[in-house]
Amino acid sequence: MRLKAGVRPHGLAPEIMLGISICNQIFLARGLELVITSLVDGKHSVGSLHYVGHAADFRTRNIEPEDVQTIAQECRNNLGDDYDFVVEQNHYHLEFQPKKEY
C-alpha cells in the first residue's frame, strides 16, 4: 500500500483506517498494490466525508478493466454494511457511513 504524492493522511477516523486495511488485503491477495489517491485532501463535493476523515479514494488504472467490478464486490462483501464502496469513473471511493446509530 502506498500514498500518491501529496495525499495527506492526518485526521483519519479509525473506522476508515480499518476499511483501508481490509481493502489492502484484498488487493494484496490479487498481487496488486493499493494506491491511495485521496484522503482529507483534494477537491470533493460539499459535505464530502473526505473532509472529516471518513473517506478514501483508490487508484484503478493499475487494475485490468474486467477486474474492476469484481474487486469492488469483493471489497463490499468484506467491509460490511457500515461502508460504501463505489466504482467512480477513474477510481474507487470508500467511505465509512453507518446506516444506524450505535
Closest CA to 56 of 85, 29, 32: 85
Taking 60 as the threshold, does the pLDDT of residue 102 lie above it? no
Under the banding of pLDDT at 50, 70 and 90, the label for residue 101 is low
Q: In what order do the strands lie in the sheet with 83-87?
A: 2-3, 35-38, 55-59, 91-96, 83-87
Q: Tell me if 31 sits within 8 A of 62, measured CB to CB.
A: no
* pLDDT tens digits, one per residue of 49-66: 877 789 999 999 999 999
Phi and psi, residue 69, nearest 5°: -70, -35
